[in-house]
Structure 1
Amino acid sequence: MEARVSAKIASLSAEQLKLVEKGARIIRRGGLVAFPTETVYGLGADALNTDAVAAIYEAKGRPSDNPLILHVSSIAMAEGVVEINARARILMEKFWPGPLSLVLTAKDVVPSRTRGGLSTAAVRMPDAAIALALIEKSGLPIAAPSANVSGRPSPTDAETVRSDIGAKIPLVIDGGDTRFGVESTVIDMTAGSAVLLRPGGLSKEAIEGALGEEVLLPQDQNIIRRSPGTRYRHYAPSLPLVLCCAQDVPKGARRWAWMGISEPQGEPCAQMIFKDKAEYAKELFRALRALEKSGAEIIYAETPDETGIGRALKDRLLRASGK
Structure 2
Amino acid sequence: MGFEPESRLVDERVESRINTLTLEQLEVVRRGAEIIKSGGLVAFPTETVYGLGANALDAEAVRRIYETKGRPSDNPLILHVSSIEMTEDLVEINWRARMLMERFWPGPLSIVLPAKEIIPPRTRGGLPTAAVRMPDGAVALALIKFSGLPIAAPSANISGRPSPTDAETVRRDVGGKIPLVIDGGETRFGVESTVIDMTGEHAVLLRPGGLAKEALEAELGEEVLLPQDQKIIKRSPGTRYRHYAPEIPLILAAPGEIPQDAQNWAWMGIAEPNGAPAKKVKFRDAEEYARELFRAMRALEKSGVSVIYAELPGERGIGLALKDRLIRAAGK
TM range (shorter): over 0.9
Per the alignment, residue 257 of structure 2 pairs with 248
Distance in 1 between the 2:263 and 2:154 partners?
A: 36
Corresponding residue for 1:268? 277
Residue matched to 2:52 = 43
Root-mean-square deviation (CA), in Å? 0.4
Give deviations 1:103-161, integer Å, cap 9, x for gaps. Answer: 00000000000000000000000000000000000000000000000000000000000
CA distance in 1, matches of 2:324, 2:15: 34
Deviation at 1:311, TM superposition (A): 0.3
Distance 1:266 1:18 in 2: 52
Compute the displacement of 1:295 (Å): 1.0
1:257 alignment counterpart: 266
Q: What are structure 1's unaligned runs of at least 5 residues?
A: none
1:154 alignment counterpart:
163
Equivalent residue in structure 1 for 2:97, among 82, 88, 98:
88
Q: TM-score under structure 2 normalisation?
A: 0.97
| Residue matched to 1:220 | 229
Partner of 1:137, secondary structure, is helix
* Aligned residue in 2 for 1:164: 173
Distance 1:112 1:292 in 2: 37
Q: Distance in 1 between matches of 2:318 and 2:35?
A: 35
Q: How does 1:113-132 map to 2 (within 5 A)?
A: 113-132=122-141
Q: 1:287 — aligned with what?
A: 296
Q: State the partner residue of 2:3.
A: none
Match of 1:59 in 2: 68
2:316 aligned residue (302, 307, 310) = 307
The reply to whether residue 321 of structure 1 matches residue 330 of structure 2 is yes
Residue 263 of structure 1 deviates from its aligned partner by: 1.1
Find the partner of 1:111 among 106, 115, 120: 120
The worse-fitting range, judged by mean Cα deviation, of 248-257 and 271-280 is 248-257
- List per-residue Cα deviations over 1:7-61 (Å, max 9, x = no partner): 1101101111010000000000000000000000000000000000000000000
Which residue of structure 2 lines up, in the alignment, with residue 238 of structure 1? 247
SS in structure 1 of the partner of residue 122 of structure 2 = helix
Report % sequence identity. Answer: 72
Q: What do residues 298-322 of structure 1 show as CA deviations (whole Å, max 9, x unaligned)?
A: 0000110111100000000000000
Q: Deviation above 6 Å: which 4+ runs of structure 1? A: none
Once residues 281 and 142 of structure 2 are traced to their aligned partners in structure 1, the CA distance between those partners, rounded to angstroms, is 35
Decide which moves more: 262-271 or 125-134. 262-271
Aligned match for 1:28, one of 17, 20, 37:
37
Paired AA for residue 36 in structure 1: P
User: Is the partner of 2:98 in helix, strand or coil?
Assistant: helix
How far off is 1:294 after superposition? 1.2
Alignment partner for residue 74 of structure 1, among 70, 74, 83? 83
Amino acid at match of 1:147: A
Q: For the residues of structure 2 that align with 1:35 and 1:308, how far apart are their CA atoms?
A: 26
Q: Distance in 1 between matches of 2:15 and 2:173?
A: 32
- Following superposition, the deviation at residue 87 of structure 1 comes to 0.5
Amino acid at match of 2:126: G
The AA in structure 1 aligned to 2:228 is Q
Matches within 5 A, 1:160-199: 160-199=169-208
Q: Secondary structure at the match of 2:76?
A: coil
Residues in 1 aligned to 2:139 and 2:160: alpha-carbon distance in whole angstroms: 25
Distance in 2 (CA, whole Å) between partners of 1:312 and 1:167 is 31
Amino acid at match of 1:246: P
Normalized against structure 1, the TM-score is what? 1.00
Task: Give the superposition deviation at 1:3.
Answer: 1.1
Number of the residue aligned with 1:208 = 217
User: What CA deviation, in whole Å up to 9, does each residue of 1:267-315 have, x standing for no partner?
Assistant: 1111110000000000000000000011110000011011110000000
Report how many residues are paired: 323
